[in-house]
């Protein structure tokens, strides 16, 4: 019961942190449409994006069963987590669409590219459990459709959520390496299993803090 509740909270936090950009893309892509078409673009775009997420997540679960894929996925997830805290890019490169069809297409394509991090994180947490996969995708729906403004305000008001979410991604990356027994035992030997995920989480948070603090220190000097 408690394990399921903890998993639920972790997936919710991952979705909050990683779905914020997707929500912003939807807002930008449909910005120039009339109100009615804007609603249609959001719903149809989100529907197409969710369908892609289902396919991607199920594929990721099976792909993660291939030897050494866990480690490759862990490295990618670790990079995503660090990039989440250190990337200063905005969304200016997302084109505003002037027609309903273009808006829907922009939303689906952008969400496909930007959902890879979300899919990888949920697939790693799911460990093949389809109920968890459905839960993860289901939780992302309201965040993407209705949460654009709320999510961005939440992350700005409580920056700790970004660090906590990125730390969870780092921890998950460590767990993925442990699941790849051939790599784990060959590289880390008899290292206690809980040390690697904690170290990965601290590494991610440390990179984020360094990115935030170093520029201010340099300005002072």
**Secondary structure of 12-68 as H, E, C letters:** HHHHHHHHHHHHHHHHHHCCCCCHHHHHHHHHHHHHHHHHHHHHHHHHHHHHCCCCC
Confidence of residue 221 (pLDDT cuts 50, 70, 90): low
Three-state DSSP state, 146? helix
Q: How far is the C-alpha of 42 from the C-alpha of 31, rounded, in Å?
A: 11
In the prediction, which pLDDT does 118 show?
66
Q: Give residue 126's domain range.
A: 2-220
Confidence of residue 183 (pLDDT cuts 50, 70, 90): confident
Domain count, the chain: 1
CB distance 94 to 28 below 8 Å:
yes
User: To 5 degrees, how large is the angle CA 132–CA 71–CA 125?
Assistant: 15
116's CB contacts (< 8 A; 6+ apart) are 56
**Does the predicted TM-score (pTM) go above 0.85?**
no
Other Cβ atoms less than 10 A from the Cβ of 50: the count is 18
In the prediction, which pLDDT does 202 show?
95
Q: How far is the C-alpha of 53 from the C-alpha of 137, rounded, in Å?
A: 7
Task: Provide the angle, in degrees to the nearest 10, between the axes of the packed helices 69-86 and 116-126.
Answer: 130
Other Cβ atoms less than 10 A from the Cβ of 99: the count is 12
How many residues does this entry show for the chain? Answer: 221
In the prediction, which pLDDT does 94 show?
52
- Helices in the chain by DSSP H: which ranges? 2-29, 35-63, 69-86, 100-114, 116-126, 130-146, 148-157, 160-179, 181-188, 195-220
Other Cβ atoms less than 10 A from the Cβ of 12: the count is 16
Note the pLDDT tens digit of each residue in 79-118: 878 887 776 544 444 555 567 787 777 777 766 655 666 6
Note the pLDDT tens digit of each residue in 124-136: 766 666 677 677 7
CB distance 120 to 2 below 8 Å:
no
User: To 5 degrees, how large is the angle CA 53–CA 54–CA 59?
Assistant: 95
């Amino acid at each position: 019961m408690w394990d399921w509740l903890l998993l639920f909270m972790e997936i919710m936090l991952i979705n909050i942190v990683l779905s914020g950009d997707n929500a912003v893309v939807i807002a930008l892509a449909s910005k120039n449409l009339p109100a009615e078409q804007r609603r249609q673009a959001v719903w149809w775009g989100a529907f197409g994006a969710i369908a892609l997420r289902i396919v991607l997540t199920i594929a990721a679960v099976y792909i993660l069963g291939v030897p050494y894929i866990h480690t490759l996925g862990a490295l990618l997830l670790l990079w995503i987590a660090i990039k989440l805290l250190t990337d200063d890019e905005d969304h200016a490169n997302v084109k505003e669409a002037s027609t309903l069809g273009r808006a829907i297409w922009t939303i689906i394509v952008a969400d496909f590219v930007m959902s890879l991090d979300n899919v990888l994180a949920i697939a790693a947490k799911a460990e093949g459990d389809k109920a968890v996969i459905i839960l993860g995708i289901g939780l992302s729906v309201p965040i993407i459709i209705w949460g654009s403004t709320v999510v961005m305000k939440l992350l700005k008001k409580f920056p700790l959520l970004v660090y906590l979410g990125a730390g969870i991604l780092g921890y998950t990356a460590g767990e993925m390496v442990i699941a790849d027994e051939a790599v784990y035992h060959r590289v880390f030997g008899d290292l206690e299993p809980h040390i690697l995920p904690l170290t990965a989480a601290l590494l991610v948070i440390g990179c984020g803090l360094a990115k935030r603090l170093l520029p201010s220190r340099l300005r002072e000097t």
